[in-house]
Each structure stands twice: as structure tokens, then as C-alpha cells.
Amino acid sequence: MHALSPHRIVFEEPIVRTHVGLTRFPDRCPICGLRATKKKRIDATPKEPPWAKPPTGRRLTTIQRIRLGLKPVTFIVPFCEEHVDIDSGRGRMRVAATYFFGLATSILIIAIMFVGSDLWLGRGVPFWAYPFLGIYALCFAAFVLTYRPSELESSVKVIGFDVNRDHVFLQFKDKTYTDEFLLLNKSNAELVSWIVRV
């Protein structure tokens, strides 16, 4: 039954547990603290429970997700003029980085076979192997860098949902913002230092 065992995560800095429907965000930018004039959508989708996963390993269809109550949740978070757009183009960058890393990996597999046969025949490492390894390392670095959470993503991070999916766990980078958030959501939010994620 180990697939059903809950996943417990402990946080050094307490995070916020808040009601999905009642949550309000402070009118300040969570990155710089200035007065917010713009708004940004932050989407979060509850993870499917292990017992609901199709045996084929594929993801659930939209209809199956809705039936299980795994509706995506959208938060409208105020940001300042300067920071609301800092992530534009990041999605495309991630797609491109994934593509080039995938391409470089398939070339790497072929390259290893060529290098292997050259070594086998006693011809030594071919001249192109080193520059290729350099290019491969660059693709890998770009892939890792674009997938790191951005400044915007780490300012308001959705950690997960609780068992009933009516509460969500949020982590804010700025402590003052966290305090203000708690004050604003006095009746429906609290600090927690560990969670069982579903």
C-alpha cells in the first residue's frame, strides 16, 4: 500500500494554508512591495491521487479530472507595473530549451556509438567529440536555468493542496507580504510548518 502513503514535507520557514475560494491578496507587489497597479493570473492544478492514475501511466483526461474534483484553480494576484511582465516569454524559452536539450541528447547517443567504435578501432577520440560535449553542456545548462523558478514564481509559490482540495498551501518570498496576507485573510488563513501534500 505504499503508493497511498501520504507525502509529508517540513518547512524551515512556515508557509501559509489558506481557503481556495476566500483568499485575497494584498494590494502590494509580492516582489518589490510597491503599490500594485496590475494583476496577474497564477494557475494551480491539484495533483491526481495515485489510485486515480490510469494504469497506462498516461495523465487523466480533463473530464476524468473534473469528475475527481481536480479542477484547476486560478488566483488573481496584484503586481506592480514593472514586475507583472518579467516572465513574459519564459514559457517559450522553456519549450525551446526542452527541444534543444532533447535534440542534443539524441545526437549524444549517436555520438557515443561513433566515439566507441573509433576507440575500438584504436583511432582515439575523434576531433569533434570535445566541441560537441561543450555544446551539449550548454544545452543542459540552458535547460536547467530556464526551468528554475523565476523571481515571479518564487514570490508567490503554490506548494500544493490539502486532502479536500478546498485549502491551498502558498509560500511567499517576502516576510512582510506574508504578514500582510495573514492579516487580510485572518478568518481563512494560517501559518503551518509542515504539510501532507496530495
In this complex, which beta carbon is closest to Zn ion, that of residue 18 or of residue 155? 155
Helix (H) or strand (E) holding 190: strand 189-197
Q: Identify whether the C-beta of residue 162 lies closer than 8 Å to the C-beta of residue 6.
A: no
> Residues 80, 93, 108, 158: which binds Zn ion (CB under 5 A)?
80
Which region among 10-18, 57-65, 82-90, 177-185 touches Zn ion (by CB under 5 A)? 82-90
- Does residue 192 interact with Zn ion by CB under 5 A? no
Q: Which is nearer to Zn ion, 80 or 158 (CB)?
A: 80
Eight-state DSSP code of residue 2:
G
Helix axes 90-120, 129-147, angle to 10 degrees: 150
User: What type of residue sits at position 7?
Assistant: H
User: Rule CB under 5 A: is residue 86 a binding residue for Zn ion?
Assistant: no
Q: Are 18 and 192 in contact (CB under 8 A)?
A: no
Neighbour tally for 39: CB within 10 Å: 12
Nearer to Zn ion, 79 or 169 (CB): 79
- Does 142 interact with Zn ion (rule: CB under 5 A)? no
Strand partners of residue 195: 9
Site residues for Zn ion, window 91-110 (CB under 5 A)?
A: none
Binding mask 2-31 for Zn ion (x = CB under 5 A): ---------------------------x-x
Of 12-20, 54-62, 76-84, 135-143, the segment contacting Zn ion by CB under 5 A is 76-84
Coil, strand or helix at 138: helix
We find the least distance from the C-beta atom of residue 155 to Zn ion, in angstroms, to be: 9
Q: Is 143 helix (H, G, I), strand (E, B) or coil?
A: helix
In the complex, least distance from residue 76 CB atom to Zn ion, rounded to whole angstroms: 16
- Among 164, 163, 193, which Cα is nearest to 178's? 193
Shortest gap between Cβ of 49 and Zn ion (angstroms)?
A: 37
Q: How many residues bind Zn ion (CB under 5 A)?
A: 5
Residue with cell 517559450: 92
Which positions lie near Zn ion, rule CB under 5 A?
A: 29, 31-32, 80, 83
